[in-house]
């Protein structure tokens, strides 16, 4: 099976014995849980669109390993065109779900490990790349989802992994044998962790010689013994537990993050892709960061497209669409959205071939893209809230809207333009609220700052990758100083 359907994906999750905790309870039927299910629906969309004729070129690719048609979310990019198609695909996914659809981090992790295992083998004489390709062929053949389990809890940030009072604040090897390794620790804030089939684990930072036990990468199924998931809360998440749908905003889709616990988890040798080669941790982290920071130009512009649409609709509903200041705000929202997309595409178009034969984005432009993402979505959100008006924070609940005594008053006095039903205004306001204040704000705001590294990490790479001497020479030549 190369291309799963949505139903195939849902059935495959049901076959996993994934251990999930939410709101203080272990959730047995987590696939149907109303808080978790919207994030599953978002990933399911990656399977649906791969079967639609209009999107097939974006959502499928040809495997460089087998020559078979695969889902692009498992593809190792082979050209700048592949890199651009990825960004375009992610924008479509943002438009279709208006949320984090979770699968792009795993895609970027696969591409990172494909490149880095090759480089480690060339330098150290190891056999990681062959192991990884076996794993990759399995992921492509079964059309599976893997999470990118990179971020450690980190404990005291002023101390390196080996200096922590509690050594498990960074995931580490606690035991080795001829058959594999045993690891203990956690990975935090992992996008799509619960909804994936596999966790692809990577180190979170550069390591020194004293931190060989922390310099590890491996992949394990989500239901591996000793492994469990603690689901992360989001603003207004319990609205999904209420009756009705009007107060939810984004009814069908959502994102998720989770804390993954590794309590003495055994990893067989064939699933280990890095073990002690601390010299390559920085390379691995920075390559993943470049891939993932370029991805944000696609996903965040797609989500912003939905918010621009919602702001336009609410302006029409409330009779302000033709006001010059509202038109100007909608244009500015569009300008900022396209700027995010342009940066993602530019970093892809300037992509280059790696020693492994796969292609990487331009790191400088990828970090410029992500630094834009830490700022521009906040202005897009501010403008959307401005256009929506104060009702964004004062709208009564669906229960009042449908109440036998007061419902008719709510519907009457919260109406906008007379020929548009008040329920339309209600639902669009709730969508804007969800995307800018509720569960969707995690994707559009919090993730925009901290996903793929904080703003300072992008500034560090931008400073490192800028050719300052070249720019100085340009200025000297123009000034006649050469």
Enumerate the active-site residues.
100, 104, 191, 257, 292, 296, 299, 447
Instruction: Check residue 378 and report its DSSP letter.
Output: H
CA–CA separation, 355 and 193 (whole Å)? 30
CA–CA separation, 190 and 149 (whole Å)? 6
Length of the chain (residues)? 482
Q: Identify the residue whose tokens are 């793929």.
A: 452
CA–CA separation, 152 and 370 (whole Å)? 21
Instruction: Check residue 142 and report its DSSP letter.
Output: H
Do residues 67 and 2 lie in contact, with contact meaning Cβ atoms separated by under 8 Å?
no
What string of H, E and C letters represents the secondary structure of 96-128?
HHCCCCCCHHHHHHHHHHHHHHHHHHHHHCCCH
CA–CA separation, 242 and 296 (whole Å)? 32
Region of 357 (left: φ > 0; alpha: ψ -120 to 50; beta: rest) is: left
Do residues 221 and 138 lie in contact, with contact meaning Cβ atoms separated by under 8 Å?
no
The per-type count for the chain, helices as H runs and strands as E runs, is 17, 14
Do residues 197 and 146 lie in contact, with contact meaning Cβ atoms separated by under 8 Å?
yes
Q: In whole angstroms, how far apart are CA 477 and each of 344, 470, 471, 473, 482?
A: 32, 11, 10, 6, 5
Q: Identify the residue whose tokens are 């919602």.
A: 310
CA–CA separation, 153 and 205 (whole Å)? 12
Work out the angle at residue 398's Cα, subtended by the Cα atoms of residues 395 and 404, and round it to the nearest 5 degrees.
Answer: 115
> Where would I find the H helices in 321-454?
324-349, 363-373, 376-388, 398-401, 407-413, 422-436, 439-441, 447-450
Across 262-278, b (16+ Cβ under 10 Å) vs e yields beebbbeeebbbbbbbb
- CA 60 to chain CA centroid, Å, is 19
Do residues 162 and 211 lie in contact, with contact meaning Cβ atoms separated by under 8 Å?
yes
Of residues 265, 230, 225, 223, the one with CA closest to residue 18: 223
Work out the angle at residue 31's Cα, subtended by the Cα atoms of residues 29 and 37, and round it to the nearest 5 degrees.
Answer: 130
């Amino acid at each position: 099976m190369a291309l799963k359907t949505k139903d195939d994906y849902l059935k495959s999750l049901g076959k996993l014995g994934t251990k999930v905790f939410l709101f203080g309870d272990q959730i047995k039927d987590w696939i149907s849980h109303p808080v978790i299910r919207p994030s599953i629906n978002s990933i399911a969309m990656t399977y649906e669109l791969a079967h639609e004729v209009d999107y097939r070129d974006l959502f499928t690719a040809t495997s460089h390993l087998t020559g078979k048609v695969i889902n692009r979310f498992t593809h190792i990019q082979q050209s700048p065109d592949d890199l651009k198609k990825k960004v375009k695909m992610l924008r479509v996914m943002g438009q279709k779900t208006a949320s984090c659809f979770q699968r792009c981090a795993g895609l970027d992790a696969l591409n990172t490990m494909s490149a880095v295992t090759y480089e480690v083998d060339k330098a150290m004489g190891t056999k990681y790349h062959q192991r990884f390709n076996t794993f990759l062929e399995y992921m492509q053949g079964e059309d599976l989802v893997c999470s990118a389990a990179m971020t450690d809890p980190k404990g005291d940030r002023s101390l390196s992994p080996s200096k922590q009072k509690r050594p498990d604040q960074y995931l580490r090897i606690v035991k080795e044998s001829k058959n594999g390794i045993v690891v203990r620790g956690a990975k935090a804030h992992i996008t799509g962790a619960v909804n994936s089939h596999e966790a692809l684990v990577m180190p979170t930072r550069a390591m020194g010689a004293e931190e060989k036990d922390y310099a590890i990468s491996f992949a394990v199924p989500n239901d591996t013994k000793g492994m469990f998931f603690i689901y992360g809360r989001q603003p207004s998440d319990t609205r999904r537990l209420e009756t009705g749908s009007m107060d939810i905003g984004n009814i069908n889709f959502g994102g998720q993050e989770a804390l993954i616990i590794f309590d003495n988890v055994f990893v067989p040798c064939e699933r280990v892709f890095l073990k002690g080669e601390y010299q390559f941790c920085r390379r691995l982290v920075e390559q993943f960061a470049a891939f993932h920071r370029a991805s944000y130009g696609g996903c965040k512009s797609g989500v912003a497209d939905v918010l621009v649409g919602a702001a336009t609709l609410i302006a029409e509903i409330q009779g302000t669409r033709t006001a010059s200041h509202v038109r100007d705000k909608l244009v500015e929202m569009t300008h900022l959205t396209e700027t995010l997309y342009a940066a993602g595409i530019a970093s892809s178009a300037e992509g280059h071939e790696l020693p492994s034969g796969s292609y990487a984005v331009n790191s400088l432009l990828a970090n410029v893209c992500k630094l834009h993402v830490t700022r521009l979505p906040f202005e897009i959100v501010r403008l959307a809230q401005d256009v929506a008006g104060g009702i964004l924070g004062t709208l009564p609940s669906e229960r009042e809207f449908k109440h036998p005594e007061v419902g008719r008053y709510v519907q009457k006095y919260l109406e906008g333009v007379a020929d548009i039903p008040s329920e339309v205004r209600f639902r669009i306001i709730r969508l804007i609220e969800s995307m800018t204040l509720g569960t969707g704000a995690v994707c559009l705001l919090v993730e925009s700052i901290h996903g793929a590294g904080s703003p300072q990490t992008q500034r560090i790479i931008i400073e490192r990758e800028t050719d300052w001497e070249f720019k100085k020479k340009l200025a000297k030549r123009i000034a006649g100083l050469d």
